[in-house]
Structure 1
């Protein structure tokens, strides 16, 4: 009887040890492994910027950071309001996210300011002039700070040459942008400097919000031979109003981003926004694996494309030269 009792006691002891061992196995002892949290701030929703974000999420998954599984990605849209962008960035910092992805110049400036001195890494993308925006001090060197990312200086020289090739008689160029967006001001200044050699007159129509876009476009009717919009988040968010004015008055409209060509602009030499997002994800993955953002040299966007909307050109009676169509990466018929 005593022997049977001791045997049962020994069995119970073994079970206790086994259960305890199960509770202590693996690197997550004491609780589940912490999943990193990445806050994403985007100044406004429109197709080009949404592609940046999608490219980021997809590449993060390829890097092993799957949203909802091995990383938590929190997306916030500032609805075109710089004050809201600041609030979003401040909240991410207050919540102590592990890193911030900032899409566009205004959102990146807000994130950089909010995260200053906190050690929270900020990776920027879709920023035309990172130096002019105050995000980095110089090109080609590590920042030594918590900020790095992908800058995408728009190829405005190639964009202006494309306009000249497609509309050879252009002498007056309408330029619509938000003078409150640093990236747009930078591009506008570069455009004005470049077309001086072409003897073009630049007629500007600036806006402060999306509700101003239609009136700005209407103000250029009869005064310009073509209209150009750089990668301006405010104008692109109200693109349909601009397209309608240009179609009705048969004004060739060109843009700085590829997604606007798909929506009705004539063409552009533009950044591949999806790949820009993927490029940002590669940097973010390095940081989440433990690399210091201050040692990662900010990168220039690596892929650009020539996109032509022949259907839009045909609608206003504009013939696209064969040479342009042949070298285009994509032609919308």
Structure 2
């Protein structure tokens, strides 16, 4: 659940095992790996590799790290746009984030899309959910956005249940949340992202150098919507969203 204090110890164990490749998810894990070794190849999956300073450029990473980098800032703008399509009048969005996990600085500096105000609500784990709900209420938010793809399946259920209690329209990062009852999602397929990292590992084990392997970015994004949840919230889903949806939960 995002405990970063264990990273140095875990990496020390990997170095002692003399592994051939280290795979990291999230920017902090990648940064910790880069600090631990400049010799062992690192394959990462992060939101913004260049923005976080993990590599020099997408085309020429340099160093001993390469991998997949998302389009986090662009994705956020698109999610806000979809929220406004589904819930016209959306103007105050509460964004649930564990900021320590390395969200790109541009997310907080970029002009707010479509006149929407974005309020960051820190979420580090289950212990924060009640406080987060209280904050959302105090902010008088009219929609919720979740950016973090939590790997803990139990916590994903808790997040969806907590957001449901706000009775607000909410957009999630992947369809796994929609299958659990979340209203809708827009983002990359986790399976495809993991497949990308596997390809990098294979190339490196065959002799390729990370410095010479360009960073890959997602080219396909899924839109999923839960019609049952929409009905519960009294939301009429626009036809254009239904036509664009890749996944529909009845």
TM-score in same-fold range (> 0.5): yes
Alpha-carbon spacing, 1:103–1:109, altered in 2? closer, same or farther (3 Å): same
Counterpart Cα distance in 2 of 1:295 and 1:255:
34
Determine if contact 2:224/2:248 at 8 Å carries over to the other structure: yes
Greater relative contact order (CA < 8 Å, ≥ 6 in sequence): 2
Residue 93 of structure 1: how far off its partner (Å): 1.5
Residue 319 of structure 1: how far off its partner (Å): 1.5
Counterpart Cα distance in 2 of 1:167 and 1:161:
10
Q: Which runs of 5+ in 2 are unaligned?
A: none
Q: Deviation per CA, 1:27-58: give whole Å up to 9, x if none.
A: xxxxxxxxxxxxxxxxxxxxxxxxxxxxxxxx
Alpha-carbon spacing, 1:229–1:332, altered in 2? closer, same or farther (3 Å): same
- Mapping of residues 102-251 of structure 1, within 5 Å: 102-116=24-38, 119-125=39-45, 127-139=46-58, 141-154=59-72, 155-183=75-103, 186=105, 188-189=107-108, 193-195=111-113, 198-221=114-137, 223-231=140-148, 233=150, 238-251=155-168
Residue 111 of structure 1: how far off its partner (Å): 1.6
Residue 98 of structure 1: how far off its partner (Å): 0.7
Aligned residue for 2:112, secondary structure, equals: helix
TM-score, structure 1 normalization: 0.68
Larger radius of gyration: 1
Work out which of the residue numbers 199, 215, 237 in structure 2 matches 1:320: 237
The answer for the alignment partner of 1:68 in structure 2 is: none
**Is 1:84 aligned to 2:6, yes or no?**
yes
Q: Which runs of 5+ in 1 are unaligned?
A: 1-78
- Alignment length (residue pairs): 247
TM-score, structure 2 normalization: 0.89
**Is 1:297 aligned to 2:214, yes or no?**
yes
The answer for the alignment partner of 1:17 in structure 2 is: none
Counterpart Cα distance in 2 of 1:237 and 1:298:
32
